[in-house]
Amino acid sequence: MSALVQLRRVSKAYGVVKAVEPLDIEIQAGEFMAILGPSGCGKTTLLRMIGGFIQPSTGEIILDGVDVTRLGPERRPTNMVFQGYGLFPHMSVAQNVSYGLRLAQVSLPERKRRVEEALALVHLEDFGERRIEQLSGGQRQRVALARALVMRPKVLLLDEPLAALDLKLRRAMQEEFRRIHALIGGTFIFVTHDQEEAMSLATRICVMDRARVVQDGTPEEIYRRPATRFVSRFIGEANFFHGVAQSNVVTLRNGASFSAKVNDGEVDCVVRPEDICLPDQGGCDIRAEAIVENVTFLGHHRQYRLSSVLGDDIIVSSRDRSPDIDVGSTVTIGWRVADQRIVSQ
Amino acid sequence: MKDRSLSIRAALQLAPTIGVLLFVFVLPTAYFFVISFWRVRAFKLRPEFTFDQYRQVLAEFSDPLQFTLALASVVAIVTVLIALGFAYFCRFQAGPAGPAFIFLVLVTLFGGYLTKIYMWKTILGSAGILNTALMELGLIDSPITALLYSPVAVIITLVHYTLPLAILPIYGALRGVEDVPLEAARDLGAGRLRTFFDIVLPQIRSGIVAAFSLSFIFTAGDYVTPLMVGGPNASMIGVFIQNQFGNRLNSPLGSALSFVVIASCMVIVLAFATAMVSVTRSRR
């Protein structure tokens, strides 16, 4: 069974500026994939190439076995939820949702049924006659989603769908997306710069940086085994401990060493804040002395900032409730070799 | 107390506008409306109520009236179509150069009305630029005299003159049309033409009606252009009205003619607006 969406050596260049370097991606039916990266990394360009709004400079795009590379957006089995929604301001909610069906010449009763169904799916049953300017941001977002979903696209594309919403609404809409994806079982591709959103929604994350895909995997893989320094910094918080590798032995600045299979040279040892024990209670493979610079109480955990010869900005998050670590005191921190990740510089 | 000072201030702010409108528009118009029902005897205006003038308008002037309204409709429709194309280009295709093109349109407004008329005389005349060029090229043997002093010359001149007045409201309306809904329409299966008719046109309706009205009303009321480039077959109603007030000293008939023209213009502009609304209505 071949993948639903296949990108083969797809790239986009604007003059000498390369927006997307040649890349190959295959997306299986039913996947909920996030394209994650900082602004300007080419993620939106990539999504718009799949939707047909931008012609790739090279390569081809295969959708469900059909080469759509040269087809415009109106002739592709994809639908997009746009950043800023792009609702038609002169039409009612129901007219917005039924517009695509009307163009596809779906009969009136069928159209009505599907519009009602789509509005019910996004919990806007009674909003059909409303005008767009009467809706809140979250409701507009739902209309945009209904308008795309009513077309039953083979692939639903979402361009920063939640960027304009406040945090609380964003959380609620994430829940909606997850529910709708589970319910209709479609293939969703969404672009975001918000790593938390990508982690919580996607079954697969494609991390982009400077026009390239730097890592492609499940959220857990990307969090646990970041491929590069960029990925480990971009996804969640991380501590970087500088070290030197020689003959498969890495030595950190404080003299602690461990064996690892890496090329000789300078490396970074990446450790997540929650993987550092404070204070060391045994069981740690690598230890270091550190001074507590400050403590922040964040509800479900405490965040410590420490300095040591390993670095000035070590972040440790701990759920330990014992409040007896004072600012200014010297403690021993430690972590297990299994919890760290070595990335070359 | 505060409300009163607020309303006094509002009245003061509105006073100049209301004053100007009242003295140079409302009162004169009312005066001419009243005398359109009066009689003239021995070149003297007499306050005796009569419908004679209106009867005379329908009996003697319905041909130039119809000709004027038809010509104004043609001018307004051609102008709106060209203006729409130009404004659309400036808004969606010219990129950052769009506002510069609109500025150029504004600049052409400085070229006076008469300048433009004489310009077209120079271009269209029998020894004009166009005829000379065609003869030099060997395409014609003798000058085409039908170019100037014809209804076509009037149409060309007035389309040229009213074009900036039509471009500006349409461009203004187009600036309010966002890009993302247009992409969304294409995403939902609409081609470029469908997108224009379903998404762009309904949003710029008022701009188009404004452009049509400006071009139509200006043309219907114009009497200089037909005199200068129109010739004997292009006598528009404005020429007749001017005649009644001038040579004939029959201001009641002139007034009656004016009010018939105003009423006809209102009917046509309203009809155009209604047609635009029904054409661009969103369907389910």
Query: Read out DSSP for A43-73?
Result: HHHHHHHHHTSS--SEEEEEETTEE-TT--G
pLDDT digits (tens, 9 = 90+) for B34-81: 999 998 887 788 888 888 889 988 888 999 999 999 999 999 999 999
Least confident interval from A313-327, B94-108, B169-183: A313-327
**Cβ atoms of residues B247 and A60 within 8 Å:** no
Q: How confident is the model at residue A204 (pLDDT cuts 50, 70, 90)?
A: very high
Count: domains in chain B: 1
pLDDT digits (tens, 9 = 90+) for A118-139: 999 888 999 999 999 999 988 9
Taking the C-alpha atoms of residue B174 and residue B207, their distance in angstroms, rounded to an integer, is 8
Maximum C-alpha span of chain A: 76
Q: How close does chain A come to B186, measured CA to CA in Å?
A: 5
pLDDT digits (tens, 9 = 90+) for A233-260: 888 888 888 888 888 888 888 878 888 7
B182 backbone dihedrals φ, ψ, rounded to 5°:
-70, -40
Task: Tell me the three state secondary structure of residue A250.
Answer: strand
**Cβ atoms of residues B255 and B32 within 8 Å:** yes
Taking the C-alpha atoms of residue A116 and residue A98, their distance in angstroms, rounded to an integer, is 10
Q: What is the pLDDT of residue A1?
A: 55
CA-nearest of A342, A251, A333 to A288 is: A333
Place of tokens 């039913």: A30
B39 is a domain residue: no
Mean pLDDT of B226-245: 84
B26 is a domain residue: no
- Whether the CB of A340 is below 8 Å from some CB of chain B: the reply is no
Task: Tell me the three state secondary structure of residue A240.
Answer: strand
pLDDT greater than 80 at residue A115: yes
pLDDT digits (tens, 9 = 90+) for A45-77: 999 999 999 999 999 999 998 999 999 999 999
Choose among A51, A84, A111: nearest Cβ to B187: A51
Rounded percentage of chain A residues whose pLDDT exceeds 70: 97
For the record, the structure tokens of B223 come out as 């009497």
Beta partners for residue A207, in sequence order: A36, A215
pLDDT digits (tens, 9 = 90+) for A219-231: 998 888 888 888 8
Residues of A in contact with B186 (CB under 8 A): 53, 72-74
Mean pLDDT of A135-150: 92
- Whether the CB of B180 is below 8 Å from some CB of chain A: the reply is yes
B41 is a domain residue: no
| Containing structural domain, residue B108 | 54-282
Q: How close does chain B come to A77, measured CA to CA in Å?
A: 9
pLDDT digits (tens, 9 = 90+) for A266-287: 888 888 888 888 776 777 888 8
Q: How confident is the model at residue B270 (pLDDT cuts 50, 70, 90)?
A: very high
pLDDT greater than 80 at residue B173: yes
- Whether the CB of A53 is below 8 Å from some CB of chain B: the reply is yes
B48 is a domain residue: no
For the record, the structure tokens of B47 come out as 């306050």
Q: How confident is the model at residue B2 (pLDDT cuts 50, 70, 90)?
A: low
- Whether the CB of B48 is below 8 Å from some CB of chain A: the reply is no
B71 is a domain residue: yes
**Cβ atoms of residues A108 and B284 within 8 Å:** yes
Mean pLDDT of B89-114: 90
Asked if the Cβ–Cβ distance from A51 to B199 is below 8 Å, we say no
Q: What is the CATH number of the domain that holds B199?
A: 1.10.3720.10
Mean pLDDT of B180-189: 94
pLDDT digits (tens, 9 = 90+) for A79-99: 999 998 999 999 999 999 999
Mean pLDDT of A12-25: 91
What's chain A's average pLDDT? 88
pLDDT digits (tens, 9 = 90+) for A152-201: 999 999 998 888 788 888 888 888 888 888 888 889 999 999 888 888 88
Q: HEC string of chain B? A: CHHHHHHHHHHHHHHHHHHHHHHHHHHHHHHHHHHCCCEEECCEEECCCCCHHHHHHHHHCHHHHHHHHHHHHHHHHHHHHHHHHHHHHHHHHCHHHHHHHHHHHHHHCCCCHHHHHHHHHHHHCCCCHHHHHHHHCCCCCCCCCCCCCCHHHHHHHHHHHHHHHHHHHHHHHHHCCCHHHHHHHHHCCCCHHHHHHHHHHHHCHHHHHHHHHHHHHHHHHCCHHHHHHHCCCCCCHHHHHHHHHCCCCCHHHHHHHHHHHHHHHHHHHHHHHHHHHHHCCCCC
B34 is a domain residue: no
**Cβ atoms of residues A4 and A155 within 8 Å:** yes
Residues of A in contact with B276 (CB under 8 A): none
Taking the C-alpha atoms of residue A339 and residue B6, their distance in angstroms, rounded to an integer, is 72
Q: How confident is the model at residue A322 (pLDDT cuts 50, 70, 90)?
A: low
Q: How confident is the model at residue B7 (pLDDT cuts 50, 70, 90)?
A: confident
Rounded percentage of chain A residues whose pLDDT exceeds 90: 44
Choose among A90, A112, A151: nearest Cβ to B188: A151
Q: What is the pLDDT of residue A321?
A: 64
B45 is a domain residue: no
Question: Higher-confidence residue: B154 or A169?
Answer: B154
H-helix segments, A122-247: 137-149, 167-184, 195-201, 219-224, 229-234
Taking the C-alpha atoms of residue B191 and residue B179, their distance in angstroms, rounded to an integer, is 15
Mean pLDDT of A198-212: 91
Mean pLDDT of A139-148: 93
B2 is a domain residue: no
Rounded percentage of chain B residues whose pLDDT exceeds 70: 98
Q: What is the pLDDT of residue A45?
A: 93
Q: What is the pLDDT of residue B109?
A: 84
Task: Tell me the three state secondary structure of residue A3.
Answer: coil
* Residue of A47, A48, A74, A83 to mutate when probing chain B, most B C-beta within 10 A: A74
Q: What is this structure's pTM? A: 0.81
Choose among B184, B189, B284: nearest Cβ to A95: B284
Residues of A in contact with B95 (CB under 8 A): none
**Cβ atoms of residues B220 and B69 within 8 Å:** yes
Task: Tell me the three state secondary structure of residue A331.
Answer: strand
